Structure 1
Amino acid sequence: MTRKNALIVCDHSLDPRLQKRKDWLVELGYDVDVYVDLSRGGHFKDRNLLEKPLTDLKVKLLDTSDLVYISGAKVIISCFLFMLMARLKGKKVIYEIPDLPLRSRYNFKNKIIAFVFRRLVGALFSNIVVTSNGFLPHLPAGKNYFLCENLPSVNIVKNINSSNKVKRAGSELNFGFVGALRYEEQMLMLIKYCLETKNRATFFGGPTTAINSLLEKCTQRGIAVNDLVKFEGDFTHADLCGIYSNIDFVYSVYDSSQPNVKLALPNKLYEAFLFETPIIVSKKTYLAEIVESEKIGFSVDSQDYNLFKSGMDANIKKSFLVSSDNIKIKIANHKENFIGWVTSLDKM
């Protein structure tokens, strides 16, 4: 089979989600070159993957490329000429939207950004991958959309022991945050709650600067952190089974005043299913709708600590039955569905 050429263009080093996309394109018969903003997402960087700087991305590369796979909002602006020429040359282009660029607390600013983003996406792209169907009402109509959720790797499934949960003595609960540390206010809520109720908060992930910033904020707020709160630092996917076996709830409460948080589906949702661990999320979000309809956890207020505390108190003693059966089927079909959709573009 004759190999084809593909470009992946992103505004940060490839995270595990995009590393999977790259691997799938290779399986589909593409030789893939990766161009990223090397100043962003360094904690994701795979030393075995050659990433070239965006400054090396030239329009002439389109002449030898059969597919261009793009992810990220910032890269549309920084590489606009390249995107436009790919469109004008009739290249097969796929644009993936893992998040909407709507993170401001100011509604007017978000409306302007949403308008510009929608227009750019509408003008530049026809084939669009989304990680959440919650994005669709905010994107242009009439496009070829494909839902490709941010599912865990199939390799993780192979290592799961269905009876790996550790049974702890006593009533103390361990709330785990798993991932890159962001949303300080919501992390502070969990820390304060655990210190007040004598439960545990364990944070898995970094970077170190974010951990130090969060601890400094605790000091500024007069929150005396003790051994009930632990920061375990960076982890790999191989660590996930052990992490989830030692936590009672996975904590995925983000700032729901941000429109993107209201609409996105983080990978924690799928990890909660896979590792059969109840999840705590923010109220008034698309994520909360799914969590509550599936009865795999509960939602709390992400803005007011008193409301947050009352929501935690009312729910943490409840029992939640989380099954991994359906998510395992999704993961097993994930690659095949993606490759099938990309292949179908050749027939359009």
Structure 2
Amino acid sequence: MKDSRNTVNLQSIMPVRISHGQRASKYLQTASGVRKMARICLVVTNGCAPDPRVERHARWLVELGYDVTIFAWDREHTLDVKSKRNGYVIQRTRTSKAKSSASIIRQKKRFLRSLKGQYDLIIHNDSDSIGTKNLDAPFSILDLHDIAHAWPIMQKTSLLRRILSSRMKRTLRKNVSRFGGFLTSSPGLSDYFDREFQFKSTVLLNVRNSSPLPRPMTKKIGFFGRIRDYDAMVLLIESCKKIGFSPIFAGDGACVDRLTKNYPNIDYRGPFDENDLNELMAEIDVMYALYNPERENIRRGALPVKMFDAAAFGRPTVTTANTPMGEFCLKNKLGTVATFGDVDAISNAILHAYELDVVVNHAEEDEQKKFMTVIESILDTHQEGSS
């Protein structure tokens, strides 16, 4: 991380127009006329291995000339402390390893409080990342990929987990006024936060540009992402056994150890990053994105990143029936749906998806424009206030 002493406080600087018709405040100007590149950091409470949405936004910012750092939390001490790619830096922090719910909460707080530096804008990713005490910036944005306060009670419900979920809700309500803008990943989530927390958000779908690859047609199905729903992974394994498919797993997550211990022969590739995705996609014919519909995130309209990723590479997805994500999948012809918990239905959905061709109807550029409009409007607020 760069020495914060080398960064000029945005309270005494103002954005400079770079070219006609372009509002992005890539460079900031001090009263003495010295120009410095605007510094933006993104905070996420996972290892960013992967976090496609966060890395996509970082790449967009770099393409427009911003100096970008992602702060991530390496809970398991398995990832590179520092990674550089596509012009941005991922800086990972390791705290003491934690297994129990209580210790995970403590270590997450330690991670957030350990982050230091002065930036021109902070983008917090999900509401559990807002407890940073020593990161300074005049502006901040909250990007809600999901409903973070639903995570503690996703796998099981206990008094401690209910208390934690309730505290996370209160923390979000208490901090709403801090943020200059809000992003969400689906229309359903946007409606939920508007109704329950009384703030408007800009919806950014997790879309990437189409890069279709030839399908190998070798009956392989992938799950590439955060592995934290053990039952969903077991359903994939058992469904594949019935129809002669081979599952490939990649990513980190709370259920990895349990899954690899109980199924030692599965094809697990470990954590991956954005640069690995092309090779992983080239190996599969179908993507698996089935989630328990009882999870609040799923009921409220979350849309899986992996469904959009798969479509961009020409792969159909199997997702959950009778949910907003399932309806979106069918409406946009991105794959098939199955009832969660029904191995026969899942097996049939995989076979059906295997025969489908996918055509992408969404473009990354549309989401990028919406994203940059939010960024620029917030940074330009300072210019208007300083003029």
TM-score tier, shorter chain, comes to: 0.7 to 0.9
AA matched with 1:178: F
Structure (1 or 2) with the greater helix fraction: 1
Which position in structure 1 is the counterpart of 2:281?
A: 244
Q: Structure 1 residue 190: deviation in Å?
A: 1.6
Structure 2, gaps ≥5 residues long? 1-26, 28-34, 94-111, 382-387
1:289 to 304, 311, 327: 327
1:203 to 237, 240, 248: 248
Q: In 2 relative to 1, CA 235–69 (structure 1 residues): closer, same or farther, beyond 3 Å?
A: closer
Which position in structure 2 is the counterpart of 1:341?
A: 374
Which whole-Å deviations, capped at 9, do the CAs of 1:253-310 have from their partners, x for residues lacking one?
12222112333212111122212222111233221110122233222222x3xx3423
2:351 to 296, 313, 316: 316
Q: Structure 1 residue 115: deviation in Å?
A: 4.3
Which whole-Å deviations, capped at 9, do the CAs of 1:123-180 have from their partners, x for residues lacking one?
432411112222123314664522222234x5xx5xx455x12245xxxx33222223
Which position in structure 2 is the counterpart of 1:222?
A: none
Which position in structure 2 is the counterpart of 1:73?
A: 127
Is the 2:248–2:268 contact (alpha carbons within 8 Å) kept by the matching residues of 1? yes
Q: Structure 1 residue 96: deviation in Å?
A: 1.0
Q: Structure 1 residue 207: deviation in Å?
A: 4.3
Q: In 2 relative to 1, CA 193–36 (structure 1 residues): closer, same or farther, beyond 3 Å?
A: closer
Which position in structure 2 is the counterpart of 1:9?
A: 43
Q: In 2 relative to 1, CA 337–201 (structure 1 residues): closer, same or farther, beyond 3 Å?
A: same
Is the 1:204–1:234 contact (alpha carbons within 8 Å) kept by the matching residues of 2? no
AA matched with 1:70: H
Q: In 2 relative to 1, CA 41–28 (structure 1 residues): closer, same or farther, beyond 3 Å?
A: farther
1:147 to 188, 203, 206: 203
SS in 2 for 1:280: strand
1:25 to 53, 61, 72: 61
Q: Structure 1 residue 237: deviation in Å?
A: 3.6
Give, in whole Å, the separation in 2 of the partners of 1:46 and 1:138. Answer: 36
Structure 1 window deviating more from structure 2 (273-282 vs 11-20): it is 11-20
Q: Structure 1 residue 252: deviation in Å?
A: 0.8
Q: In 2 relative to 1, CA 191–106 (structure 1 residues): closer, same or farther, beyond 3 Å?
A: same
Which whole-Å deviations, capped at 9, do the CAs of 1:24-54 have from their partners, x for residues lacking one?
3344454445544453796486522262754
The answer to whether the aligner puts 1:92 opposite 2:139 as a matched pair is yes
Q: In 2 relative to 1, CA 272–198 (structure 1 residues): closer, same or farther, beyond 3 Å?
A: same
Structure 1 window deviating more from structure 2 (184-193 vs 245-254): it is 245-254
The answer to whether the aligner puts 1:300 opposite 2:300 as a matched pair is no
Is the 2:330–2:336 contact (alpha carbons within 8 Å) kept by the matching residues of 1? yes
The 5-angstrom pairing of residues 118-129 of structure 1 reads 118-129=172-183
Is the 2:212–2:313 contact (alpha carbons within 8 Å) kept by the matching residues of 1? no
Which whole-Å deviations, capped at 9, do the CAs of 1:102-122 have from their partners, x for residues lacking one?
131549939836742551353
Give, in whole Å, the separation in 1 of the partners of 2:172 and 2:344. Answer: 38
SS in 2 for 1:345: helix
SS in 1 for 2:293: coil
2:258 to 213, 219, 222: 213
Is the 1:13–1:44 contact (alpha carbons within 8 Å) kept by the matching residues of 2? no
Structure 1, gaps ≥5 residues long? 220-224
Q: In 2 relative to 1, CA 107–126 (structure 1 residues): closer, same or farther, beyond 3 Å?
A: farther
AA matched with 1:331: E
Which position in structure 1 is the counterpart of 2:310?
A: 272
What is the percent sequence identity of the aligned residues? 20
Q: Structure 1 residue 17: deviation in Å?
A: 2.7
AA matched with 1:95: L
Is the 1:205–1:234 contact (alpha carbons within 8 Å) kept by the matching residues of 2? yes
The normalised TM-score by structure 1 is 0.73
Q: In 2 relative to 1, CA 148–317 (structure 1 residues): closer, same or farther, beyond 3 Å?
A: closer
Is the 2:128–2:168 contact (alpha carbons within 8 Å) kept by the matching residues of 1? no
Structure 1 window deviating more from structure 2 (141-150 vs 102-111): it is 102-111
AA matched with 1:17: R
The total of aligned residue pairs comes to 312
2:75 to 30, 33, 39: 39
AA matched with 2:281: Y
Is the 1:4–1:66 contact (alpha carbons within 8 Å) kept by the matching residues of 2? yes
Which position in structure 2 is the counterpart of 1:193?
A: 239
Which position in structure 1 is the counterpart of 2:215?
A: 165
Root mean square deviation, CA, Å: 3.6
Q: Structure 1 residue 187: deviation in Å?
A: 1.0
SS in 1 for 2:83: coil
Give, in whole Å, the separation in 1 of the partners of 2:344 and 2:201. Answer: 39
Is the 2:40–2:121 contact (alpha carbons within 8 Å) kept by the matching residues of 1? yes
SS in 2 for 1:295: coil
Give, in whole Å, the separation in 1 of the partners of 2:77 and 2:121. Answer: 24
